[in-house]
Structure 1
């Protein structure tokens, strides 16, 4: 039956775009949650906005590891099993994926609830900013297991080639999070004003609802993957099939967030206005992820099923199509923010110093967006093939460039925000070119 799947027989670009559109729309909506939350917190003052900039990279790490990295490993394993015509294995893999999501999510929650203030302090958080970040983070990360489970279940569904259901759930979760977080954060209508705690509670409520809906769909709404809830013992070979891709892939978001953390720490030394402005600009950078992510995630089941069916050349054509689509899309956004950065920055603040740094960051980073998009889309395509060492090493190269140049510049007298922001652009270029070279050179057969 796999051989008749449109993911294996349909024209590559139209099929890829058809699968990408719901992903992109849902994930853009998901990132708009961050935009809305930044707006809410901006109404509370500069200190909460700076505190949120300290917590944000770790919150994004939760999403990137569970949805993109380990989630990509889940989708890859299930799609390869379906491509080979083994539905029983696909169902068993789904059960093991849920166990991984629950276990890792619990560990992540414990780590950041207990040690979050230490991490925020390493980034340069001090005094009232550190205190505010710590309180917000403890509430937010207490729901990390729900985030992991929601994204794992969505990845199981994506592995079957169904993008509409997980995208619809992600969209609905985002709307619910905006509504609940805004109501509790700002005290809208009859709701109490809980400030940043209310914004964090909105995330927990929305993710819990997403988990319930996806579990119900997998149990009663589809027939492609049947999860054997009873009579199956968890086994290492099944975990290994997911983790050999997903665990290694988790290095990539860790590298990405370490890159952001290093830059956050360096910018924090320039003062709260520079940090808040960088945080606003960085929000747009993370808005790029859903576009490249949506295209890249759509390529995972296409590549995985092609690999499972022995169609290696088709798998590689899918990968390059995904890379170029993402690069073209992000080129347009990069040009827009270079020319008119205030279209983004003025959404969040009217503070002149904060606006100056936000606009400066967007002008400096915009030219690197296309390289970032191609690298990220090719990374996801490589997840589908199971050959991801090259893209992971490209992420390492980006980290080395940002850390090395950034730390060197920070030791120079009169270091400016502009020079640090240019380092971010250099890292994007290295990542995009390095990932493209790795996929071109790596044999998938």
Structure 2
């Protein structure tokens, strides 16, 4: 049945796989013909919930590390940027590229190409996981030293990394397979699986880390083991879902062969998106180093502001992941104008939500800060208030740029999101260093540079998409 013939008679399917294929075709048709706003909202909600549960998983891990002592907390702080980068690459950068490629293939009604892309996605996931494990084994101490680690903190970070990176193949396989399912238009199943994985990781990490009940107390290594095991179970479930045909893709046909063109289809978008993720993490790491010059109170105040900025990402991802698949399907079907309309509607919605939160906190920063700080902690409170009053009004542009990044993944056009990220890091870092040396604004100079970088990020990407129309 053609996706462009909604009135054609439906032939009774034979078996679960055939039924799933018809459902998948119906989802793709909704991408191509359904009302944009309601479709985006319905697809975005489960993704946002899943990302919030993942945030809870991250918070619980820090709590468990705190129970083990300062050394474990310091070690976790050292390894956290690399764990975050692994998550960002597997779920967002390469994951988005996988969803985009499959959605474009299905939009063009090329199910054989979509099935081939599934196999390629798995090969890439395993390969990248193995590469990261080798790099960490060879250069782990050097990397943690460059991040400022010393002595016991580095040893704790290495203990975590010794479990996490060899086992991160479970994260890559889980996220790659969930991205395959998203590419078919099914957002609920990946979101549900991710919620279960994240929720399961919390007790597993606590049990292996702290030695609950019959479990051994493995310390910080146990935290990594709990996460790896939870994702391993999720990967098996996701693989079973796809291989059973429930995703609506058949992998049993003789034509399913990985080819250089299929690898190029994913890597063309995935490598650019990965660079974008690396630049985002690098920006945060460098800004922490600059703010640290002004003392612990400044670092604490900035850290609380940056933490809220991180929590905005799941909201944007919820809408962005839906846009990646919707835009991809429409680009594949030759409906560029509709793909652009989806991008603008979704991106402006994400920017409005995030911008609204930013404006609220610009006027009432204590709504967030007083969750963590008491009135007696006057100095970090003052720094946090300065951060929100300076930076939070520009959250709109941060949301706009990041949402357009996800939409551009769907279109397979990643040059301008990368340019936007480069502009952001250059302005934020260069501007901060220049203002610190030329003025007596202190840490306020850093916040002005961060806000200007956010403004440039959103404006550059939005104007480029409007001017080029992804051509």
- Calculate the TM-score normalised by the size of structure 1: 0.90
Evaluate the alpha carbon distance shift between residue 329 and residue 86 of structure 1 in structure 2; reply closer, same or farther with a 3 A threshold: same
Evaluate the alpha carbon distance shift between residue 273 and residue 33 of structure 1 in structure 2; reply closer, same or farther with a 3 A threshold: farther
1:106 to 130, 136, 140: 130
Q: Does 1:218 align with 2:242?
A: yes
2:144 to 108, 120, 136: 120
Give the deviation of 1:277 after TM superposition.
Answer: 5.3
Evaluate the alpha carbon distance shift between residue 359 and residue 105 of structure 1 in structure 2; reply closer, same or farther with a 3 A threshold: farther
Contact 1:78 1:90 (8 Å CA) reproduced? yes
Evaluate the alpha carbon distance shift between residue 405 and residue 50 of structure 1 in structure 2; reply closer, same or farther with a 3 A threshold: farther
Contact 1:291 1:326 (8 Å CA) reproduced? yes
SS in 1 for 2:95: helix
Question: What is the distance in 1 between the residues matched to 2:149 and 2:89?
Answer: 24
Give the deviation of 1:442 after TM superposition.
Answer: 1.4
**Segment drifting more, 246-255 vs 12-21:** 246-255
1:377 to 403, 410, 419: 403
Q: Does 1:428 align with 2:454?
A: yes
Tell me the equivalent position of 2:343: 319
1:87 to 111, 124, 137: 111
Evaluate the alpha carbon distance shift between residue 345 and residue 44 of structure 1 in structure 2; reply closer, same or farther with a 3 A threshold: farther
What value does the CA root-mean-square deviation take over the aligned residues?
A: 2.8
Evaluate the alpha carbon distance shift between residue 57 and residue 424 of structure 1 in structure 2; reply closer, same or farther with a 3 A threshold: farther
SS in 1 for 2:323: helix
Evaluate the alpha carbon distance shift between residue 176 and residue 163 of structure 1 in structure 2; reply closer, same or farther with a 3 A threshold: same
Q: Deviations over 1:164-209 (max 9, x none)?
A: 1111111111101122223334444554444433322221111111
Larger radius of gyration: 2
Tell me the equivalent position of 2:20: none
Contact 1:34 1:283 (8 Å CA) reproduced? no
Question: What is the distance in 2 between the residues matched to 1:380 and 1:267?
Answer: 30
Contact 1:2 1:84 (8 Å CA) reproduced? no
Q: Deviations over 1:16-43 (max 9, x none)?
A: 1111111111111112222222333344
SS in 2 for 1:444: coil
Evaluate the alpha carbon distance shift between residue 429 and residue 134 of structure 1 in structure 2; reply closer, same or farther with a 3 A threshold: farther
**Segment drifting more, 79-88 vs 54-63:** 54-63
Tell me the equivalent position of 1:235: 259
Tell me the equivalent position of 1:439: 465
Tell me the equivalent position of 2:3: 2
**Segment drifting more, 412-421 vs 192-201:** 412-421
Question: What is the distance in 2 between the residues matched to 1:104 and 1:346?
Answer: 41
Question: What is the distance in 2 between the residues matched to 1:271 and 1:394?
Answer: 30
Question: What is the distance in 1 between the residues matched to 2:129 and 2:122?
Answer: 10
Q: Deviations over 1:96-135 (max 9, x none)?
A: 1110111012112222343233223223333444444343
Q: Which runs of 5+ in 2 are unaligned?
A: 7-28
2:326 to 291, 294, 302: 302
Alignment coverage as a number of residue pairs = 445
Question: What is the distance in 1 between the residues matched to 2:66 and 2:361?
Answer: 21
Evaluate the alpha carbon distance shift between residue 263 and residue 353 of structure 1 in structure 2; reply closer, same or farther with a 3 A threshold: farther
Evaluate the alpha carbon distance shift between residue 386 and residue 372 of structure 1 in structure 2; reply closer, same or farther with a 3 A threshold: same
1:143 to 144, 149, 167: 167
Tell me the equivalent position of 1:60: 84
Give the deviation of 1:393 after TM superposition.
Answer: 0.6
Evaluate the alpha carbon distance shift between residue 346 and residue 114 of structure 1 in structure 2; reply closer, same or farther with a 3 A threshold: farther
Contact 2:44 2:319 (8 Å CA) reproduced? yes
- Calculate the TM-score normalised by the size of structure 2: 0.86
Tell me the equivalent position of 1:261: 285
Give the deviation of 1:342 after TM superposition.
Answer: 5.1
Evaluate the alpha carbon distance shift between residue 133 and residue 284 of structure 1 in structure 2; reply closer, same or farther with a 3 A threshold: farther
Q: Does 1:399 align with 2:425?
A: yes
Question: What is the distance in 1 between the residues matched to 2:141 and 2:379?
Answer: 25
**Segment drifting more, 137-146 vs 17-26:** 137-146
Tell me the equivalent position of 1:170: 194
Tell me the equivalent position of 1:180: 204
